[in-house]
Chain A
Amino acid sequence: MTDTPPPETLRIGTDIGGTFTDFVVLDADTGQITLEKRLTTPDDPSRAVVDGIDVLRAARPGLLERTEILAHGTTLVINALIERTGGTTALLTTEGFEDVLEIRREVRYDAYDLELAFPRPLVPRRLRRGVRERLHASGRELVPVDTGQVGAIVDEFAAENVESVAICLLHSYADGDHEREVARIVRERRPDLWVSLSSEVLPEVREYERTSTTVANAYVQPLLAGYLRRLRSALDERGFAGNFYVMQSTGGVIPLEVARTFPVRVVESGPAGGVMAAARIGARAGISDLLAFDMGGTTAKVAAVVNGQAALTHDYEVARTAHFRPGSGIPVCTPVLDLLEIGTGGGSIAHIDSLGLIKVGPRSAGSVPGPAAYGRGGDQPTVTDADLVLGHLDPDHFLGGEMPLRADLAAAAVAALGEPLGLDAVATAHAIREAAQESMVAAARVHLAELGVEPSRLPVVAYGGAGPVHVVGLARKLGAPRVLIPPAAGVMSALGLILAPATFETSQTYKVKTDRLDLDLMDDLFRQMEKSAAQFLPGGDAGRVTCTRWADMRYVGQGFEVSVGLPGGDDWRSLSADEVTAQFKSAYESRYSRSYDDVAVETMNLRLRATLDGDGTVRLPTPATTGRTVSEALKGHRDVHLPGGTVRCPVYDRALLEPGMTVAGPALVQERETTTVLDRDATAAIGDLGIISIDLKGA
Chain B
Amino acid sequence: MPDPVRVETSWRRLQSITDEAATALVRASFSSVIRDFLDYACVVFDGAGTMLVHSSRSTPGLLGVLPFVVPNAMAEYPMETLRPGDVLILNDPWTGSGHLIDITVLAPVFHRDRPAGYVACSAHHLNVGGRHATIESRDLYEEGLKIPLTLLYERGEPTMVFDFLRANVREPDKVIGDLRAQVSANALMAERVAAFMAENDLAALEPLSAEITGRSEASMRAAITALPDGAASSEISLDIPGLADPVRVVLRLTIAGDELTLDYSGTTAQVPRAVNVTLNMTRSYSFYILKCLLDPLVPNNGGSLRPVRIVAPEGSVLNPYRPAATWGRTMIAHMLPELIMEALSGIVPDRILAPSGATPLAYCNLVGERADGGTFFTIVTMHGGMGALATQDGLSCISFPANCANIPVEIIESDAPLLIRRKSLLPGSGGRGRYRGGLGQRVEIEVLGGDLGPRGTVLAGLRGGRLGVPVRGALGGEGSFAARVELNGTQIGIGSQVTLGPGDVLAFELPGGGGYGDPEERDPRLIAADLADGLVPAE
Enumerate chain A interface residues (CB-CB to B < 8 A).
96-100, 102-108, 111-118, 124-126, 134, 136-138, 140, 142, 170-171, 173, 205-208, 353-359, 421-422, 430-431, 434-435, 438-439, 442-443, 445-446, 449-450, 555-560, 591-594, 596, 599
Contacts and interface: CB of A to CB of B under 8 A. Distances in A.
A555 B26 contact: no
Given A137-B410, A205-B410, A449-B23, A106 B383 contact: yes
Contact of A108 (B30, B400, B533): B400
Contact of A354 (B59, B219, B353, B452): B219
Nearest to B37: A107
A96 B177 contact: no
B403 A108 contact: yes
Contact of B20 (A114, A421, A449, A560): A449
A125 B535 contact: yes
B187 interface: yes
A112 B423 contact: no
13 contacts: A106-B404, A108-B399, A113-B292, A118-B395, A126-B532, A138-B452, A354-B219, A438-B8, A438-B13, A446-B20, A449-B20, A592-B28, A596-B180
A596 B180 CA distance: 10
A562 to B, nearest CB: 9
B177 A557 contact: yes
Nearest to A449: B20
A435 B406 contact: no
| 8 A-B pairs with the lowest CB-CB distances in the bound complex, closest first | A96-B422, A107-B405, A112-B296, A449-B20, A438-B9, A557-B30, A442-B12, A125-B533
B184 interface: yes
Nearest to A117: B392
B16 A356 contact: no
B57 to A, nearest CB: 8
A593 B186 CA distance: 12
Contacts of A354: 219, 222, 297-298
A649 B132 CA distance: 73
B308 interface: no
Contacts of A357: 4-5, 7-8, 215
A206 B35 CA distance: 12
B23 A450 contact: yes
Given A355-B219, A450-B20, A555-B177, A106 B58 contact: no
Contact of B9 (A96, A126, A434, A443): A434
Given A114-B292, A446-B16, A559-B32, A108 B177 contact: no
B419 interface: yes
B23 A107 contact: no
Instruction: With a 10 A CB-CB cut-off, give which of B177, B188, B353, B409 has the most chain A CB atoms.
Output: B409
Given A113-B296, A438-B8, A103 B396 contact: yes
B27 interface: yes
A170 B423 CA distance: 12
Contacts of B395: 116, 118
A559 B408 contact: no
Interface in B43-69: 56-60, 63
A137 B411 CA distance: 8
Given A99-B425, A594-B184, A115 B16 contact: no
A207 B399 contact: no
Given A106-B382, A357-B4, A142 B396 contact: no
Nearest to B192: A449
Nearest to B358: A106
A69 to B, nearest CB: 38
Nearest to B405: A107
Contacts of A208: 408
B174 A557 contact: yes
Contacts of A136: 413, 419, 448, 452
Given A107-B38, A442-B15, A102 B425 contact: yes
Contact of B392 (A115, A206, A450, A596): A115
Interface in B295-321: 296-298, 300
Contacts of A140: 452
Contacts of B29: 558-559
Contact of B398 (A108, A173, A207): A108
A96 B441 CA distance: 11
Contacts of B1: 422
Contacts of A560: 26-28, 35
Contacts of B420: 96
B296 A98 contact: no
Contact of B413 (A98, A171, A450, A592): A171
A508 B63 CA distance: 41
Interface string B493-514: 0000000000000000000000
Contacts of B63: 111
A106 B397 contact: yes
Given A97-B409, A107-B398, A438-B9, A112 B291 contact: yes
B173 interface: yes
A111 B403 contact: yes
A107 B297 CA distance: 19
Instruction: With a 10 A CB-CB cut-off, give which of A108, A126, A560, A593 has the most chain B CB atoms.
Output: A108
A358 B4 contact: yes
B127 interface: no
A559 B32 CA distance: 8
A208 B1 CA distance: 51
Given A353-B298, A557-B177, A593-B184, 15 more contacts: A104-B397, A106-B398, A106-B406, A107-B38, A107-B398, A125-B535, A126-B532, A170-B410, A356-B4, A421-B4, A435-B9, A557-B30, A558-B177, A559-B29, A591-B27
A114 B534 contact: no
B247 interface: no
A104 B396 CA distance: 10
Contacts of A98: 424
Contacts of A137: 410, 413-414
B482 interface: no
Contacts of B15: 442
Given A115-B391, A557-B174, A205 B5 contact: no
B423 A97 contact: yes
A594 to B, nearest CB: 6
Contacts of A596: 180
A134 B174 CA distance: 30
Given A354-B297, A356-B4, A592 B184 contact: yes
A427 B188 CA distance: 35
A438 B537 CA distance: 52
Nearest to B3: A431
B142 interface: no
Interface string B273-306: 0000000000000000001110011101000000
Contacts of A359: 8
A353 B395 CA distance: 28
B36 interface: yes
Nearest to A600: B173
Interface in B157-174: 173-174
B24 interface: yes
Contact of B396 (A102, A353, A555, A592): A102
A118 B398 CA distance: 11
Given A114-B389, A355-B298, A599 B173 contact: yes
Contacts of B452: 136, 138, 140
A124 B441 CA distance: 18
B537 to A, nearest CB: 13
B177 A106 contact: no
Contacts of B35: 559-560
A106 B184 contact: no
A252 B341 CA distance: 53
Contacts of B9: 434-435, 438, 442
B421 interface: yes
Contacts of A450: 20, 23
B12 A439 contact: yes
A125 B420 CA distance: 21
B429 interface: no
A556 B403 CA distance: 27
